[in-house]
Amino acid sequence: MSDLPHVEPGEMIAPGRTALIVVDVQVDFASPEGLIGGYGTDMSPAETAIDRIEELIAAARKAGATVGFMRVMTRPETDSNALKTWMARRGTPDNAGICRIGTGGEDYYRVSPEPGDIEVSKLAYSSFHGTDFEQQLRARGIDTLVMTGLTTDCCVDSTTRDAFHRDFHTFVVSDACASFDEALHTGTLNALNQHTSLLVTTDAVVAAWSA
């Protein structure tokens, strides 16, 4: 991570106008007992990122920054035709059944919202797609997002890009995101830095919110 182009965020992430966004820290994406873990995937990158996310949530609450929890919530009838067709064409149709409501796979893992936090249930990668996420942010006067969660290359990336397109300032916490492929993780962070966002570390964000 040391070779990534990090910045010191300082007053750019002032708590009164900033939200810490926690993307898809759920059983199916993060737990060894979830859908991805059940395939024998090494879940340690997710666990390490969640350690940092827990630090950031505590710092955000202490500083008075908004905390937002994004969560995939699906049923068979909500799977899009594009998703099902793509899965079938690549030979993995069963993977469409992630975060099914009622299975426990959709539950939060190691983190949970408190009263007053933003919560968004979504069907697609972007937290903005088909949701009221933008409206909730605007209602609170938020113009800056500090992005964390799973996975860097998928839902974190999609949400961050959509935030930029909606004129939000975006910061991605490199050690509080994770992918299950280090090359994808690093590549996505570099691409976001190149096109939409500034990269920061957990320590730098905590320091900014503690000042």
**For residue 103, cis peptide bond before it (omega within 30 degrees of 0):** no
Q: Going by CATH, does the domain composed of 14-210 fall within 3.40.47.10? A: no
- The pLDDT value recorded for residue 92 is 77
Question: Which of 29, 61, 10 has its CA nearest to residue 152?
Answer: 29
Query: DSSP state, 124?
Result: S
- The pLDDT value recorded for residue 97 is 84
- The pLDDT value recorded for residue 93 is 61
Check if 177 is active-site: no
Check if 24 is active-site: yes
Q: How many CB atoms lie within 10 A of CB 27?
A: 21
Active-site option among 28, 99, 122, 157: 122
Nearest-angstrom CA–CA distance, 192 and 69:
21
- The pLDDT value recorded for residue 1 is 57
Nearest-angstrom CA–CA distance, 13 and 169:
9
45 contact partners, CB below 8 Å, separation of at least 6 = 178, 179, 180, 182, 185
Nearest-angstrom CA–CA distance, 112 and 54:
10
- The pLDDT value recorded for residue 84 is 87
- Contact by Cβ (8 Å): 148, 176: yes
Check if 154 is active-site: no
pLDDT in 10s for each residue of the chain, 211 residues: 568 999 999 999 999 999 999 999 999 999 999 999 998 999 999 999 999 999 999 999 999 999 999 999 999 999 999 988 988 898 876 655 899 999 999 999 999 999 999 999 999 999 999 999 999 999 999 999 999 999 999 999 999 999 999 999 999 999 999 999 999 999 999 999 999 999 999 999 999 999 9
Active-site option among 28, 155, 157, 175: 155
Sheet holding 18-23, edge to edge: 118-122, 66-72, 18-23, 144-150, 169-178, 198-200
- Contact by Cβ (8 Å): 170, 197: yes
